[in-house]
Structure 1
Amino acid sequence: MKEIRTEIRIHASASVVWNVLTDFRAFPDWNPFMVYLKGKPAVGERIEVKMVPPGSKGMVFKPTVLKFQRNKEFRWLGHTGFPGLFDGEHILELIENSDGTTTFIQREKFNGILLPMLKKSLDNGTKAGFEAMNKKLKQICETK
Protein backbone atom coordinates (compact mmCIF):
# COMPACT_ATOMS: atom_id res chain seq x y z
CA MET A 1 0.00 0.00 0.00
CA LYS A 2 1.06 3.60 -0.59
CA GLU A 3 -0.50 6.80 0.72
CA ILE A 4 -0.13 10.35 -0.52
CA ARG A 5 -1.18 13.00 1.98
CA THR A 6 -1.30 16.78 1.74
CA GLU A 7 -2.86 19.42 3.94
CA ILE A 8 -3.39 23.15 3.99
CA ARG A 9 -4.82 25.60 6.53
CA ILE A 10 -7.60 27.75 5.09
CA HIS A 11 -8.75 31.00 6.71
CA ALA A 12 -12.44 30.19 6.31
CA SER A 13 -15.03 28.11 8.10
CA ALA A 14 -15.54 24.44 7.29
CA SER A 15 -18.95 25.25 5.80
CA VAL A 16 -17.40 27.76 3.35
CA VAL A 17 -14.74 25.24 2.34
CA TRP A 18 -17.32 22.46 2.02
CA ASN A 19 -19.56 24.60 -0.19
CA VAL A 20 -16.71 25.33 -2.59
CA LEU A 21 -15.48 21.73 -2.50
CA THR A 22 -18.92 20.30 -3.29
CA ASP A 23 -19.92 22.78 -5.99
CA PHE A 24 -18.91 20.30 -8.68
CA ARG A 25 -20.27 22.40 -11.56
CA ALA A 26 -17.65 25.04 -10.75
CA PHE A 27 -14.68 22.63 -10.81
CA PRO A 28 -13.71 23.46 -14.41
CA ASP A 29 -13.47 27.13 -13.42
CA TRP A 30 -10.96 26.69 -10.60
CA ASN A 31 -9.82 23.13 -9.95
CA PRO A 32 -6.54 22.33 -11.76
CA PHE A 33 -6.51 18.68 -10.62
CA MET A 34 -10.11 17.43 -10.54
CA VAL A 35 -11.33 19.09 -13.68
CA TYR A 36 -14.78 17.60 -13.29
CA LEU A 37 -16.85 15.52 -10.92
CA LYS A 38 -20.27 14.27 -11.99
CA GLY A 39 -22.94 12.26 -10.27
CA LYS A 40 -24.70 12.07 -6.94
CA PRO A 41 -22.30 12.16 -3.99
CA ALA A 42 -24.21 9.70 -1.79
CA VAL A 43 -22.89 6.58 -0.09
CA GLY A 44 -23.04 3.62 -2.46
CA GLU A 45 -23.46 5.77 -5.59
CA ARG A 46 -20.96 5.84 -8.45
CA ILE A 47 -19.58 9.19 -9.52
CA GLU A 48 -17.34 10.14 -12.41
CA VAL A 49 -14.14 12.11 -11.78
CA LYS A 50 -11.48 13.33 -14.19
CA MET A 51 -8.12 13.90 -12.53
CA VAL A 52 -5.33 15.65 -14.40
CA PRO A 53 -1.98 15.61 -12.60
CA PRO A 54 0.46 18.25 -13.89
CA GLY A 55 2.10 17.19 -17.14
CA SER A 56 -0.45 14.49 -17.98
CA LYS A 57 -3.57 14.11 -20.07
CA GLY A 58 -5.44 12.84 -17.04
CA MET A 59 -7.69 9.88 -16.40
CA VAL A 60 -11.41 9.39 -15.85
CA PHE A 61 -12.45 7.24 -12.91
CA LYS A 62 -15.88 5.96 -11.87
CA PRO A 63 -15.46 5.36 -8.16
CA THR A 64 -18.06 4.43 -5.55
CA VAL A 65 -18.80 6.92 -2.77
CA LEU A 66 -17.90 5.51 0.66
CA LYS A 67 -18.64 8.56 2.81
CA PHE A 68 -20.24 11.97 2.31
CA GLN A 69 -20.51 13.79 5.63
CA ARG A 70 -21.33 17.49 5.33
CA ASN A 71 -18.55 19.84 6.43
CA LYS A 72 -16.39 16.84 7.40
CA GLU A 73 -15.47 14.23 4.79
CA PHE A 74 -15.95 13.03 1.22
CA ARG A 75 -14.43 9.62 0.43
CA TRP A 76 -14.58 7.28 -2.57
CA LEU A 77 -12.98 4.09 -3.85
CA GLY A 78 -12.01 3.64 -7.47
CA HIS A 79 -10.34 0.96 -9.55
CA THR A 80 -8.38 0.96 -12.76
CA GLY A 81 -9.58 -2.00 -14.74
CA PHE A 82 -10.77 -4.43 -12.09
CA PRO A 83 -10.42 -4.45 -8.28
CA GLY A 84 -6.91 -5.42 -7.21
CA LEU A 85 -5.18 -4.16 -10.35
CA PHE A 86 -4.77 -0.56 -9.18
CA ASP A 87 -7.14 0.80 -6.54
CA GLY A 88 -7.35 4.22 -4.95
CA GLU A 89 -9.32 5.40 -1.94
CA HIS A 90 -9.51 9.19 -2.20
CA ILE A 91 -10.26 11.15 0.99
CA LEU A 92 -11.09 14.84 1.34
CA GLU A 93 -11.29 15.84 5.02
CA LEU A 94 -12.12 19.10 6.77
CA ILE A 95 -11.08 19.81 10.35
CA GLU A 96 -12.55 22.89 12.01
CA ASN A 97 -9.96 24.67 14.12
CA SER A 98 -10.76 26.67 17.26
CA ASP A 99 -9.51 29.90 15.64
CA GLY A 100 -12.13 29.75 12.87
CA THR A 101 -9.80 28.30 10.25
CA THR A 102 -10.17 24.92 8.56
CA THR A 103 -7.50 22.33 7.90
CA PHE A 104 -8.12 20.67 4.55
CA ILE A 105 -6.53 17.24 4.18
CA GLN A 106 -6.43 15.53 0.82
CA ARG A 107 -5.07 12.02 0.73
CA GLU A 108 -5.28 8.82 -1.22
CA LYS A 109 -4.45 5.24 -0.32
CA PHE A 110 -3.29 3.17 -3.27
CA ASN A 111 -2.83 -0.56 -3.66
CA GLY A 112 -2.91 -3.26 -6.30
CA ILE A 113 -0.52 -5.26 -8.43
CA LEU A 114 0.35 -2.27 -10.67
CA LEU A 115 1.36 -0.07 -7.73
CA PRO A 116 5.14 -0.72 -7.97
CA MET A 117 5.16 0.49 -11.58
CA LEU A 118 3.17 3.64 -10.77
CA LYS A 119 4.90 4.81 -7.56
CA LYS A 120 7.11 7.40 -9.29
CA SER A 121 4.20 9.10 -11.10
CA LEU A 122 2.20 9.12 -7.86
CA ASP A 123 5.07 10.74 -5.94
CA ASN A 124 5.56 13.38 -8.59
CA GLY A 125 2.43 14.16 -10.62
CA THR A 126 -0.34 13.06 -8.32
CA LYS A 127 1.08 14.76 -5.22
CA ALA A 128 1.69 17.95 -7.24
CA GLY A 129 -1.93 17.77 -8.41
CA PHE A 130 -3.16 17.53 -4.82
CA GLU A 131 -1.04 20.53 -3.83
CA ALA A 132 -2.20 22.63 -6.79
CA MET A 133 -5.84 21.89 -5.96
CA ASN A 134 -5.29 22.66 -2.27
CA LYS A 135 -3.75 26.06 -3.07
CA LYS A 136 -6.60 27.04 -5.41
CA LEU A 137 -9.20 25.87 -2.89
CA LYS A 138 -7.54 28.04 -0.21
CA GLN A 139 -7.42 31.03 -2.55
CA ILE A 140 -11.10 30.79 -3.46
CA CYS A 141 -12.33 30.15 0.09
CA GLU A 142 -10.34 33.03 1.54
CA THR A 143 -11.87 35.49 -0.91
CA LYS A 144 -15.47 34.53 -0.07
Structure 2
Amino acid sequence: MKELRTEIEIAASANRVCATLTDFSSFPVWNPFIRRVDGELRVGARLVIRLQLPNARSMTFRPRVLRVERGRQLRWRGHLLVPGLFDGEHIFAIEPLGAGRARFIQREIFTGLLVPLFARRLDTLKARAEGV
Protein backbone atom coordinates (compact mmCIF):
# COMPACT_ATOMS: atom_id res chain seq x y z
CA MET A 1 0.00 0.00 0.00
CA LYS A 2 1.19 3.51 -0.83
CA GLU A 3 -0.55 6.73 0.11
CA LEU A 4 -0.44 10.30 -1.15
CA ARG A 5 -1.87 13.03 1.07
CA THR A 6 -2.36 16.78 0.81
CA GLU A 7 -4.30 19.20 2.98
CA ILE A 8 -5.17 22.86 3.16
CA GLU A 9 -7.11 25.15 5.48
CA ILE A 10 -9.92 27.04 3.74
CA ALA A 11 -11.66 30.20 4.96
CA ALA A 12 -15.12 28.77 4.34
CA SER A 13 -17.49 26.53 6.27
CA ALA A 14 -17.33 22.76 5.87
CA ASN A 15 -20.74 22.88 4.16
CA ARG A 16 -19.51 25.46 1.65
CA VAL A 17 -16.39 23.39 0.89
CA CYS A 18 -18.58 20.30 0.46
CA ALA A 19 -20.95 22.15 -1.89
CA THR A 20 -18.00 23.26 -4.01
CA LEU A 21 -16.48 19.76 -4.01
CA THR A 22 -19.70 18.04 -5.03
CA ASP A 23 -20.54 20.55 -7.78
CA PHE A 24 -19.08 18.28 -10.47
CA SER A 25 -19.57 20.87 -13.21
CA SER A 26 -17.05 23.15 -11.47
CA PHE A 27 -14.28 20.54 -11.09
CA PRO A 28 -12.31 21.83 -14.11
CA VAL A 29 -12.27 25.32 -12.55
CA TRP A 30 -10.34 24.27 -9.44
CA ASN A 31 -8.79 20.99 -10.63
CA PRO A 32 -7.29 21.35 -14.12
CA PHE A 33 -6.59 17.61 -14.43
CA ILE A 34 -10.21 16.51 -14.00
CA ARG A 35 -11.99 17.76 -17.10
CA ARG A 36 -15.39 16.21 -16.46
CA VAL A 37 -17.27 14.21 -13.82
CA ASP A 38 -20.58 12.54 -14.53
CA GLY A 39 -22.73 10.29 -12.41
CA GLU A 40 -24.84 10.15 -9.31
CA LEU A 41 -23.27 10.87 -5.96
CA ARG A 42 -24.54 7.89 -3.97
CA VAL A 43 -22.88 4.84 -2.44
CA GLY A 44 -22.51 2.06 -5.00
CA ALA A 45 -22.90 4.32 -8.03
CA ARG A 46 -20.29 4.50 -10.77
CA LEU A 47 -18.87 7.86 -11.74
CA VAL A 48 -17.36 8.63 -15.12
CA ILE A 49 -14.29 10.83 -14.73
CA ARG A 50 -12.31 12.28 -17.62
CA LEU A 51 -8.68 13.15 -16.78
CA GLN A 52 -6.33 15.25 -18.86
CA LEU A 53 -2.74 15.45 -17.67
CA PRO A 54 -0.33 17.97 -19.22
CA ASN A 55 1.19 16.73 -22.49
CA ALA A 56 -0.74 13.47 -22.31
CA ARG A 57 -3.80 11.92 -23.85
CA SER A 58 -7.01 12.16 -21.89
CA MET A 59 -8.26 9.08 -20.13
CA THR A 60 -11.54 8.05 -18.62
CA PHE A 61 -11.99 5.98 -15.53
CA ARG A 62 -15.11 4.75 -13.77
CA PRO A 63 -14.68 4.56 -10.02
CA ARG A 64 -17.35 3.28 -7.67
CA VAL A 65 -18.58 5.61 -4.91
CA LEU A 66 -17.78 4.05 -1.53
CA ARG A 67 -18.88 6.73 0.91
CA VAL A 68 -20.81 9.99 0.88
CA GLU A 69 -21.04 11.97 4.13
CA ARG A 70 -22.34 15.44 3.33
CA GLY A 71 -20.05 18.06 4.77
CA ARG A 72 -17.50 15.43 5.87
CA GLN A 73 -16.27 12.93 3.29
CA LEU A 74 -16.47 11.64 -0.27
CA ARG A 75 -14.68 8.42 -1.19
CA TRP A 76 -14.40 6.42 -4.41
CA ARG A 77 -12.27 3.54 -5.73
CA GLY A 78 -11.10 2.91 -9.26
CA HIS A 79 -9.03 0.19 -10.90
CA LEU A 80 -6.46 -0.11 -13.65
CA LEU A 81 -7.79 -2.75 -16.06
CA VAL A 82 -9.02 -5.26 -13.44
CA PRO A 83 -9.59 -5.02 -9.67
CA GLY A 84 -6.56 -6.03 -7.63
CA LEU A 85 -3.96 -5.10 -10.24
CA PHE A 86 -3.58 -1.41 -9.39
CA ASP A 87 -6.40 0.14 -7.39
CA GLY A 88 -6.74 3.70 -6.18
CA GLU A 89 -9.05 4.78 -3.39
CA HIS A 90 -9.53 8.55 -3.45
CA ILE A 91 -10.68 10.24 -0.26
CA PHE A 92 -11.84 13.84 0.05
CA ALA A 93 -12.26 14.69 3.75
CA ILE A 94 -13.52 17.93 5.25
CA GLU A 95 -12.91 18.84 8.89
CA PRO A 96 -14.82 21.80 10.35
CA LEU A 97 -12.47 24.13 12.25
CA GLY A 98 -15.09 26.57 13.51
CA ALA A 99 -15.56 30.26 12.74
CA GLY A 100 -16.24 29.61 9.05
CA ARG A 101 -13.06 27.62 8.44
CA ALA A 102 -12.44 24.05 7.34
CA ARG A 103 -9.53 21.74 6.62
CA PHE A 104 -9.70 19.93 3.27
CA ILE A 105 -7.73 16.70 3.09
CA GLN A 106 -7.21 14.77 -0.12
CA ARG A 107 -5.76 11.26 0.00
CA GLU A 108 -5.12 8.53 -2.54
CA ILE A 109 -4.40 5.02 -1.28
CA PHE A 110 -2.91 2.66 -3.85
CA THR A 111 -3.16 -1.12 -3.48
CA GLY A 112 -2.76 -4.10 -5.78
CA LEU A 113 -0.20 -6.37 -7.40
CA LEU A 114 1.59 -3.56 -9.28
CA VAL A 115 2.07 -1.26 -6.27
CA PRO A 116 5.36 -2.91 -5.17
CA LEU A 117 6.75 -2.42 -8.68
CA PHE A 118 6.06 1.30 -8.53
CA ALA A 119 7.48 1.49 -5.01
CA ARG A 120 10.71 -0.21 -6.16
CA ARG A 121 11.06 2.34 -8.94
CA LEU A 122 10.93 5.10 -6.35
CA ASP A 123 13.57 3.31 -4.25
CA THR A 124 15.76 3.01 -7.36
CA LEU A 125 15.33 6.71 -8.13
CA LYS A 126 16.21 7.58 -4.54
CA ALA A 127 19.37 5.46 -4.58
CA ARG A 128 20.48 6.86 -7.93
CA ALA A 129 19.84 10.47 -6.92
CA GLU A 130 21.65 9.99 -3.61
CA GLY A 131 24.60 8.38 -5.40
CA VAL A 132 24.35 5.09 -3.51
Q: TM-score, normalised by structure 1?
A: 0.75
CA–CA distance in structure 2, aligned partners of residues 46 and 101 of structure 1? 31
Could you tell me which runs of 5 or more consecutive residues in structure 2 were left unpaired when the two chains were aligned.
Answer: 123-132
The residue number in structure 2 matching 1:125 is none
**Percent identity of the aligned residues?**
47
Runs of 4+ in 1 over 6 A off after TM superposition: none
**Larger C-alpha radius of gyration, 1 or 2?**
2
Could you tell me which runs of 5 or more consecutive residues in structure 1 were left unpaired when the two chains were aligned.
Answer: 123-144
**Residues 130-141 of structure 1 mapped to structure 2, 5 A cutoff:** none
Greater helix proportion = 1
Task: Report the CA distance between 1:58 and its aligned residue.
Answer: 4.4
Task: Report the CA distance between 1:10 and its aligned residue.
Answer: 0.4
Task: Report the CA distance between 1:116 and its aligned residue.
Answer: 3.5
Structure showing greater relative contact order (alpha-carbon pairs closer than 8 Å, 6 or more residues apart):
1
Which residue identity lines up with residue 24 of structure 1 in the other structure? Answer: F
The residue number in structure 2 matching 1:40 is 40
Task: Report the CA distance between 1:36 and its aligned residue.
Answer: 1.5
Q: Does 1:20 align with 2:40?
A: no
Q: TM-score, normalised by structure 2?
A: 0.81
From the superposition, tell whether residues 56 and 107 of structure 1 become closer, same or farther in structure 2 (CA, over 3 Å).
farther
The residue number in structure 2 matching 1:66 is 66
In the alignment of these two chains, the number of paired residues is 122
Task: Report the CA distance between 1:103 and its aligned residue.
Answer: 0.3
CA–CA distance in structure 1, aligned partners of residues 43 and 114 of structure 2? 27
Which residue identity lines up with residue 82 of structure 1 in the other structure? Answer: V
Match of 1:60, SS state, is strand
CA–CA distance in structure 2, aligned partners of residues 121 and 97 of structure 1? 38
**Residues 113-128 of structure 1 mapped to structure 2, 5 A cutoff:** 113-119=113-119
CA–CA distance in structure 1, aligned partners of residues 72 and 12 of structure 2? 14
CA–CA distance in structure 2, aligned partners of residues 79 and 71 of structure 1? 26
